[in-house]
Amino acid sequence: MAKEKVVILGGGGGGAILANLLPQDRFEVTVVDKSEYHVFLPGFLWVAFKGQPKEKFRRPIKSLLKPGVNFVHDEVVGVDLNERTVHLKGGGKLGYDYVVFATGAPLDFDAVPGHRELVERFGDFYSTLENAEKLHRTLASMREGRFVIAIADPIYKCPPGPHKGTFLSYELFKRLGVADKVKVVLAVPYPHVYSSKTIADVIEPELEARGIETHTFFTVDSIDLEKHKIYSLEGEELDFTVAAVVAPHTGPQYKVEPGNVKDDSGYIKIDKYTSQVVGFDDAYAIGDCTNAPTSKSGVTAHLQAEVVAKRLQGFDARYSGRTNCPLITDGKGLFVISDYDHPPIPVRLSGLKRFLEELFVATYWSAIKYPELWDPIFEAYFEASAPEVFLRYGGW
């Protein structure tokens, strides 16, 4: 029997795992990525706030893929779902039996006036390893003033990311001996310090205990680098010495035919359980590029990759919407655990969860390369810690 051709667009968190999960005796797998490197995005935090070397968080995509998986280093410029064709910037075309969108959510630095200049000046911890490195240099040279972390759109990768940045920057300033002179400020678009009140109630006292200034209902609208001010849609303003603003995210920038498979924000419309692109049984989308109503997270991308790998092999598998986003302070951590049917469950900050987060980071490359080793572990973990299970135990 001829092998079925699977073309995976993007070799990031979702794409690389899916490629390694597909049995090669049945499928001919090709990964297309415009970058030669796979970047571990949570590593931005470790570079920006802990000064770790950026090389630790990037590996050649080819080195992560199983032998036998084809890698095409080119940019996708168009996908025609009716013609079953992927168009590449280099002029090439790829035909397929199945296509999987996994190109992530690029950031839009032109949506907020003044944002591009801000990032060029200070760096940030959401876009690139180079910008994370720049932010580290900026923060390490701060002796006084206000470091502001703010958000331009409530839909962004890893909802606790800005909060992690807040706690880790405080820790950095403490290590540098300037925590009493540099004020850390966190401004969020929601009514509480975190979008879920359950989680907000846990972290609010921690923020307070560190003297971190917080602002709610603050959605960044524009930035004035000369006046050192951020203005919000809600009509407020914040002074900063240094600021890092999470940029609005977008769906795939390349053309997809038919155009109506993208939603108003440009994300690929999928069935939230099966990851199938609406209207096409030979197209799937996973990870940050979809409109699934759950957090944009590596865990989502990973679990959706497993669902698609199973479905392509003819098994029934569904993604529950499960999230497990970590939120860490200097010594403790928690996971925001939710799914399509349950808002975040009550959790406490603990040393175990802080350790688990460090373990997840340390074993990331191994998890991408050897899913057959890690899947039984993850499967058992996600089953034991499912929201409906933990709710019977009063949370975690």
Ligand X SMILES: Cc1cc2nc3c(=O)[nH]c(=O)nc-3n(C[C@H](O)[C@H](O)[C@H](O)COP(=O)(O)OP(=O)(O)OC[C@H]3O[C@@H](n4cnc5c(N)ncnc54)[C@H](O)[C@@H]3O)c2cc1C
Indicate the pairing of strand 37-39 with strand 58-60.
antiparallel
Task: Please state, in angstroms and rounded to a whole number, the distance separating the CA atoms of residues 71 and 61.
Answer: 8
Identify the helix (H) or strand (E) that includes residue 147: strand 145-151
- Smallest distance from another protein to CB 369, Å: 16
- Smallest distance from another protein to CB 142, Å: 34
Got the DSSP string for 119-135? HHHH--SSS-HHHHHHH
Instruction: Give me the 189-228 binding string for ligand X, x by CB under 6 A, dash otherwise.
Output: ----------------------------------------
Segment interacting with ligand X (CB under 6 A) among 38-46, 90-98, 233-241, 314-322: 38-46
**Could you tell which of another protein, ligand X, none binds residue 280, using a CB distance below 5 to 8 A set by kind?**
none
Q: How far is CA 275 from CA 80, 151, 164, 261, in A?
A: 18, 28, 29, 13
- Smallest distance from ligand X to CB 46, Å: 10
**Could you tell which of ligand X, another protein, none binds residue 248, using a CB distance below 5 to 8 A set by kind?**
none
**Could you tell which of another protein, ligand X, none binds residue 387, using a CB distance below 5 to 8 A set by kind?**
none
Side-chain-side CA neighbours of residue 182 (13 Å): 25
Task: Please state, in angstroms and rounded to a whole number, the distance separating the CA atoms of residues 26 and 4.
Answer: 6
Q: How many residues does the chain have?
A: 396
**Could you tell which of another protein, ligand X, none binds residue 15, using a CB distance below 5 to 8 A set by kind?**
ligand X
Strands (E) located in 190-297: 213-215, 220-224, 229-232, 237-239, 242-246, 255-257, 283-285
| Residues near another protein, by CB under 8 A | 348, 350-353, 372-373, 375-377, 379-381, 383-385, 389-390, 392-393, 396
**Could you tell which of ligand X, another protein, none binds residue 104, using a CB distance below 5 to 8 A set by kind?**
ligand X
Tell the residue number behind the tokens 């690929």, with chain if given. Answer: 268
Identify the helix (H) or strand (E) that includes residue 186: strand 182-187
**Residue 29 binds ligand X, judged by CB under 6 A:** no
Best CA proximity match to 200, nearest among 218, 211, 188, 210: 188
**Residue 251 binds ligand X, judged by CB under 6 A:** no
Write the single-letter amino acid at 351: G
Q: Where are the alpha helices (DSSP H) in the chain?
A: 13-21, 43-50, 61-64, 115-122, 129-140, 161-175, 197-209, 298-312, 351-362, 364-369, 371-384, 387-392
**Residue 114 binds ligand X, judged by CB under 6 A:** no
Which of 24, 35, 52, 196 touches ligand X by CB under 6 A?
Answer: 35
Closer to ligand X at the Cβ: 126 or 147? 126
Closer to ligand X at the Cβ: 231 or 284? 284
Whether 186 and 163 have beta carbons less than 8 Å apart is answered as yes
Closer to ligand X at the Cβ: 231 or 334? 334
Closer to another protein at the Cβ: 22 or 261? 22
Which of 65, 102, 186, 242 touches ligand X by CB under 6 A?
Answer: 102
Closer to another protein at the Cβ: 3 or 348? 348
Residues 254-293 that bind ligand X (CB under 6 A): 254, 287-289
**Could you tell which of another protein, ligand X, none binds residue 206, using a CB distance below 5 to 8 A set by kind?**
none
- Residues forming contacts to ligand X in the complex (CB under 6 A) are 9-15, 32-35, 38, 41-42, 44-45, 75-76, 102-104, 125-126, 157-158, 161, 254, 287-289, 296-299, 301, 325-326
